[in-house]
A and B are shown apart, each in its own frame.
Chain A
Amino acid sequence: EPEVTQTPSHQVTQMGQEVILHCVPISNHLYFYWYRQILGQKVEFLVSFYNNEISEKSEIFDDQFSVERPDGSNFTLKIRSTKLEDSAMYFCASGDRGETQYFGPGTRLLVL
């Protein structure tokens, strides 16, 4: 069964550093998403991506964040200058509008 994959599984970084989180969505899906979950809290929507552009973003997704689909398979989330409060689990998901979204295993980011 096709699945969403994410790398790395864990990332530790220093405050102020840039990080790039990688995702490979399911190949025939058209919609791609990033969500995050701060420890002990619920999962929050960050951004959706369709037709090679951002289709919606949340208030959390400020200028420090960006997304790219550099080729036909990868989907990346970049945090330009990490802050302590960016520490969270980041989930990539893919799907078709209105249908099931499939989530990757997540990248646990720790900012020191």
Chain B
Amino acid sequence: GIQVEQSPPDLILQEGANSTLRCNFSDSVNNLQWFHQNPWGQLINLFYIPSGTKQNGRLSATTVATERYSLLYISSSQTTDSGVYFCAVPRSSNTGKLIFGQGTTLQVKP
């Protein structure tokens, strides 16, 4: 089945720093989602981004489907950005079930 790999596995930043998280996938996809899992365990939708670039405040994401990767940019990081970031791709033309990567754990220090 499709492999979804995220890097780095862990990241520690000082508040105000920028970061780039990467998601590689082993097969062609027609969709990709980025999530933020907050300290309470909730999965928050960040982006639905099958291709191209989207921006939402300090966050932006780029997916290059032909090269099978997506990037999540966090600018001017804040302590509230801490948590685990997951990317997920659908794997089934019938059901759209999502296959998740292992996540990047981000800690932003004040």
Residue ranges of A at the interface with B (Cβ–Cβ < 8 Å):
31, 33, 35, 37, 42-45, 48, 50, 55-56, 89, 91, 93, 95, 97-103, 105-106, 108
Name A's interface SS.
strand
A98→B41 CA distance, assembly (Å)? 25
Name B's interface SS.
loop
Complex partner residue of A42 from B41, B96, B101, CB under 8 angstroms: B101
Residue ranges of B at the interface with A (Cβ–Cβ < 8 Å):
30-31, 33, 35, 40-43, 45, 48, 86, 88, 90, 92, 94-103
A45→B92 CA distance, assembly (Å)? 12
Shortest CB–CB separation between residue A98 and chain B, in angstroms?
A: 6
Complex partner residue of B42 from A42, A55, A98, A106, CB under 8 angstroms: A106
Complex partner residue of B98 from A35, A50, A106, A108, CB under 8 angstroms: A35
A-B residue pairs in contact (CB < 8 Å), sample of 9? A33-B98, A48-B92, A97-B94, A98-B31, A99-B96, A100-B33, A105-B40, A105-B41, A106-B41
Question: Given A43-B43, A43-B88, A103-B43, do A95 and B99 touch, yes or no (CB 8 Å)?
Answer: no
Complex partner residue of B43 from A44, A55, A100, A106, CB under 8 angstroms: A106
Whether B95 pairs with A97 at a CB distance below 8 angstroms is yes
In this complex, what residue of A is CB-closest to B102? A42
